[in-house]
Structure 1
Amino acid sequence: MADSVTVDSAAPASSEAARPGAIILARHGEPALSRRVWLNAEGYRQFWAQYEVLGLLPGQNPPETLKEFVAGAGVIFSSTRQRSIETAIALTRGRDFASEALFVEAPLPPPNLPAFIKMRPSYWGFLARVCWWFFNHHEGEETRRQAEDRAAAAADRLIAAAQQGQDVVVLAHGFFNFMVGRALRRRGWRIAVSQGFKYWSMRRFEHP
Structure 2
Amino acid sequence: MNWKLYVVFLLAVLQYTIVQGQEDIKLGFVDDESIIQIMLIRHGEPDLKKDGWVGRRGAEEYFRDYDSVNIIIPEFLPIHLKPGEVKCVYTSTLPRSSHTAMVLFGEGFDYCPMYMFREFERRVFNFISLRLPLKLWTTISRGLWIIGINQRDIESFRKAKKRAREGAEFLDERAMEDEKVILVAHGFLNRYLKKYLVDMGYELKVDGGSGYLSSSILVKKK
Question: 1:44–1:124: 8 Å Cα contact kept in structure 2?
Answer: yes
- Structure 1 residue 42 corresponds to structure 2 residue 57: yes
1:69 to 1:127, Cα distance in 2 relative to 1, 3 A: farther
1:20 to 1:161, Cα distance in 2 relative to 1, 3 A: farther
Cross-structure match for 2:116: 102
Amino acid at match of 2:66: Y
Question: Of 161, 178, 181, which residue of structure 2 is paired with 1:168?
Answer: 181
- d(CA) in 1 for partners of 2:118 and 2:76? 20
Amino acid at match of 1:50: D
Amino acid at match of 2:115: A
Cross-structure match for 2:14: none
TM-score by length of 2: 0.77
Unaligned runs of 5+ in 2: 1-32
Write the deviation string for residues 6-29 of structure 1: whole angstroms up to 9, x where unpaired.
xxxxxxxxxxxx744211111111
Question: Of 78, 103, 119, which residue of structure 1 is paired with 2:133?
Answer: 119
Write the deviation string for residues 188-208 of structure 1: whole angstroms up to 9, x where unpaired.
222110111111101111125
What is the number of equivalent residue pairs in this alignment? 188
- The structure with higher relative contact order (CA 8 Å, sep 6+) is 1
1:31-180 matches, within 5 Å, as 31-57=46-72, 59-64=73-78, 66-68=79-81, 72-94=85-107, 95-120=109-134, 122-180=135-193
- d(CA) in 1 for partners of 2:167 and 2:34? 20
Amino acid at match of 1:52: D
- d(CA) in 2 for partners of 1:188 and 1:54? 36
Write the deviation string for residues 114-152 of structure 1: whole angstroms up to 9, x where unpaired.
2124122x2222212211112342121011111111111
Cross-structure match for 2:9: none
Superposed displacement of residue 68, structure 1: 3.9
- d(CA) in 1 for partners of 2:213 and 2:83? 12
1:49 to 1:185, Cα distance in 2 relative to 1, 3 A: same
Larger strand percent: 2
Amino acid at match of 2:200: R
Superposed displacement of residue 164, structure 1: 2.2
